[in-house]
């Protein structure tokens, strides 16, 4: 626990970063004045940290969805299901849309060494269009 005002500032910060709670509601629930919380949040950049965390979680979720979609496509192809040209087109379109969403997330601040989704999915797209 921090010595400053006897508050556990790390817990308060984590509560803010890991939720959608407003500073006002957090101030009420933690027994800290709103102005104190606003000053500390501003000084330590909590809002930017929260935004970054939300982007990371969104990106991770998008990757899970893309992997699940690719797994479904692969299983359908491996099982020899008869897919028509329009099915391939729909699947390809969905993968492209996921790629565009991923690119938007990356341009919002997550580039940090991550390979673009389009690059990772290129072999699967090639196989589908084959």
Question: Rounded distance, CA 61 to CA 59, Å?
Answer: 5
Query: What pLDDT does residue 91 have?
Result: 72
DSSP state of 93: H
Query: What pLDDT does residue 48 have?
Result: 93
Query: What pLDDT does residue 80 have?
Result: 62
Q: Which pLDDT tens digits describe the chain residue by residue (130 residues)?
A: 444 556 899 999 999 999 989 999 999 999 999 999 999 999 999 999 998 888 888 777 777 777 777 777 677 666 666 777 777 777 777 777 777 776 666 665 554 545 555 555 566 656 655 5
Domain count, the chain: 2
The verdict on 86 and 125 lying in the same domain is: yes
The verdict on 18 and 74 lying in the same domain is: no
Copy the structure tokens of residue 111. 């580039």
Domain that holds residue 111: 48-129
The verdict on 90 and 38 lying in the same domain is: no
The verdict on 58 and 120 lying in the same domain is: yes
The verdict on 73 and 123 lying in the same domain is: yes
The verdict on 60 and 20 lying in the same domain is: no
The verdict on 52 and 87 lying in the same domain is: yes
Say whether pTM exceeds 0.75: no
Which of 101, 104, 102, 94 lies closest to 128 in space, CA to CA? 94
The verdict on 12 and 60 lying in the same domain is: no
The verdict on 65 and 116 lying in the same domain is: yes
């Amino acid at each position: 626990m921090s010595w400053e005002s006897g508050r556990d500032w790390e817990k308060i910060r984590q509560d803010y970063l890991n939720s959608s709670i407003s500073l006002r509601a957090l101030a009420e629930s933690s027994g800290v004045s709103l102005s104190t919380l606003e000053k500390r949040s501003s000084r330590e950049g909590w809002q930017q940290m929260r935004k970054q965390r939300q982007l990371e979680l969104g990106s991770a979720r998008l990757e899970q969805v893309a992997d699940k979609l690719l797994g479904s496509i692969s299983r359908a192809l491996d099982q020899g299901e008869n897919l028509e040209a329009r099915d391939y087109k729909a699947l390809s379109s969905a993968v492209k849309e996921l790629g565009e969403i991923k690119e938007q997330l990356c341009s919002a601040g997550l580039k940090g060494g991550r390979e673009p989704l389009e690059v990772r999915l290129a072999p699967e797209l090639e196989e589908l269009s084959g």
